[in-house]
Structure 1
């Protein structure tokens, strides 16, 4: 069983998504690293820009077979050939709605044209897959005849397409079974009824040996079937390994970043909460047995387990979270910390590592050792381009850098990033400013949330200068991430 990933084509057709050539090449590399067998790089007929992007992917010399999506016209195949792809995904109308209304032709002409195109593509050395568009609403006898003719003409495989997410599992099983009897069969499912994963698995049970999917399930309307969900369902539920699952989380985050489509917290496999435990009962059980409340270890998909603290937290969870930071409290002090954590949770606040450490420090009456400090900050704006420079102390060394931006705060943030380099490759998840006092000398409070992999922290700083408050909050949050045990690079 293998995957054809169509993130770069069908996924990009999601509203508001547009990937640059560099982003497509980066995602293609990650897909190849994960062992995805086929990568649909785009649709060559879209235009010169898209052809340039597809060529960027073909130039990567991937192990994966790189393809282009083509309509049922010879010129599309010629354009794909110009991009240097290994194969084409030929889409031809299958349902009468598409044959008669969309294309304005007949069933007989569709079959004849498909045979001609397959032979043409094969004569030019291309791997060929034929997709029957809207196949889930097609007359099954005609779909079977069309796909059979494609295979007889030399197509490497045919594909059952639930183009509009219309199909139910029983119908999918029936149709895919008939196509699989003809030859190698793929499946392409959408999630309009919330059945994309189910229909993909049913297709495999019916004989399909290639699943079309997108990373994070992005795509038109409700999206395509999610590659990571099908991969893990097959691996965990049926013992069928399709890709290197340890690469899935990194791949999901990169696609979310490139597309601007964030991962839902409750998203299976790659969502923030997929391996997070807050309930005292669940946390206690997880500490006693990793598998108590998880179907498979988070390391399977390149993740870490998180014990989340909030209103449902128990002593075991708080104690374990403190132990991760090397803190061990007396029973009395631990009880006080647990009470304060629950108080914060009751107010609807997410209790991050920063909050927990601050509470523990307050209860113990002592400060913590820092690894990163802000020594100096200067920022200028006005008529000139806003610029800023920072001087940071990191593990006994000093780092100095400057930056420019759309404003003094942005310039200062760029300076901090430049000073740290790869030391803290973090993501700014949220940035929030509140005025604490009124008037022209108002003090502002800046709250930021940063993450690095599965670790997340928040920090707050107040100052009359919003730029300084912002940098202090960012530096404090990065320091928290470094203190959690992730090593920093040597200072210059």
Structure 2
């Protein structure tokens, strides 16, 4: 199993910037102790494109004793929707991103390309450019629960045509995954692509942990989590819960629980992520939370 923790990225989304430096420093120290394989630092953009500029993804320096051989690796998420449509321009944008990552202070080795399930073919050119730069590449298939059977077949066929991938992630963008659908999607993906399958579960319906475990039983070997589920809306599968379910001893989880008590619980009190009524409604109806915003003014972000 490969555990990819999204705390820094989704925490930054929640706060509108980056997580507090003290949280980041303590979090990195804890990750190496509890068995996190990959830390996702944040979302990257074309340095010369529109939107947020490319910046330093880590609000604190790496610990002096960080060892790439034994400590967690680092990933970033690239939203491909803003990339140019033409292959030439998209390839150039991906090249600039690769150069910026190489020049950064953190050794990023993996880029996850977020793409809607019906637009996979258009990421071929930038994906190949990132791979040529020596970066590992993953597909991060958003809105996948909306795909019909013919659309799913086409999506996975296009994914298989992209060549070697580090993993293909099934993303519960709407918080709508049900266990039976998770099994179906994992099995279909495993049959279509040679890459490992991953799961990124949102907790709108309280199913995030269950869906992550079910995906693992169906053959998904990469799991996304976030400490205490931190993230916009309903949040994600909780790192501490998944580790406990996988057999981590209470003593091994003590540093992580201390991190939550010291740093994350105060953020939860301030930002209030979790499954409020409108998040539950959105998950049940398979619609974006933004579409029902305002129906419950007390539901949180």
TM over 0.5, yes or no?
A: yes
**SS of the residue aligned with 1:53?**
coil
**Residue 203 (structure 2) aligned to one of 191, 194, 200:** 191
Alignment match, 2:164: 154
C-alpha distance in 1 between matches for 2:151 and 2:62: 36
1:93 and 2:116 aligned = yes
How do residues 160-171 of structure 1 correspond to structure 2 at under 5 angstroms? 160-171=170-181
Alignment match, 1:457: none
Q: Tell me if the contact between 1:118 and 1:128 (Cα under 8 Å) persists in the aligned partners.
A: yes
1:17, CA displacement in angstroms?
Answer: 8.1
Q: Tell me if the contact between 1:44 and 1:54 (Cα under 8 Å) persists in the aligned partners.
A: no
Alignment match, 1:25: 25
Q: Tell me if the contact between 2:42 and 2:57 (Cα under 8 Å) persists in the aligned partners.
A: no
Provide closer, same or farther for how the CA distance between residues 69 and 16 of structure 1 changes in structure 2, counting only shifts above 3 A: closer
C-alpha distance in 1 between matches for 2:97 and 2:143: 20
Q: Which has the larger radius of gyration?
A: 1
Q: CA RMSD in A?
A: 2.7
Which is richer in strand?
1
**Residue 240 (structure 2) aligned to one of 228, 233, 236:** 228
**Residue 136 (structure 1) aligned to one of 133, 145, 150:** 145
Deviation readout 1:29-64 (Å, 9 max, x if unpaired): 21122121111111233445x525278349844421
Alignment match, 2:40: 40
How do residues 86-485 of structure 1 correspond to structure 2 at under 5 angstroms? 86-94=109-117, 107=118, 110-152=119-161, 153-181=163-191, 182-183=193-194, 184-235=196-247, 246-259=251-264, 260-261=266-267
Alignment match, 1:369: none
C-alpha distance in 2 between matches for 1:115 and 1:78: 19
1:142, CA displacement in angstroms?
Answer: 2.9
Deviation readout 1:95-134 (Å, 9 max, x if unpaired): xxxxxxxxxxxx4xx3332222221111111111110112
1:85, CA displacement in angstroms?
Answer: 0.6
C-alpha distance in 2 between matches for 1:133 and 1:91: 7
C-alpha distance in 2 between matches for 1:185 and 1:162: 14
1:253, CA displacement in angstroms?
Answer: 2.7
Alignment match, 1:388: none
Q: Tell me if the contact between 2:38 and 2:72 (Cα under 8 Å) persists in the aligned partners.
A: yes
Q: Tell me if the contact between 1:187 and 1:200 (Cα under 8 Å) persists in the aligned partners.
A: yes
1:82 and 2:103 aligned = yes
Q: Tell me if the contact between 1:231 and 1:245 (Cα under 8 Å) persists in the aligned partners.
A: no
C-alpha distance in 2 between matches for 1:245 and 1:141: 46
**SS of the residue aligned with 1:68?**
strand
C-alpha distance in 1 between matches for 2:157 and 2:262: 41
C-alpha distance in 1 between matches for 2:153 and 2:102: 28
Q: Tell me if the contact between 2:187 and 2:218 (Cα under 8 Å) persists in the aligned partners.
A: yes
RCO comparison, higher one (Cα < 8 Å, 6+): 2
Once the two structures are overlaid, the 10-residue window that deviates more, 12-21 or 252-261, is: 12-21
**SS of the residue aligned with 2:174?**
coil
Alignment match, 2:76: 68
**SS of the residue aligned with 2:234?**
coil
Q: Tell me if the contact between 1:39 and 1:67 (Cα under 8 Å) persists in the aligned partners.
A: yes
Runs of 5+ in structure 2 lacking a partner?
Answer: 46-51, 84-93, 270-301
Question: What is the number of residues matched between the two proteins?
Answer: 241
Deviation readout 1:383-429 (Å, 9 max, x if unpaired): xxxxxxxxxxxxxxxxxxxxxxxxxxxxxxxxxxxxxxxxxxxxxxx
**SS of the residue aligned with 2:235?**
coil
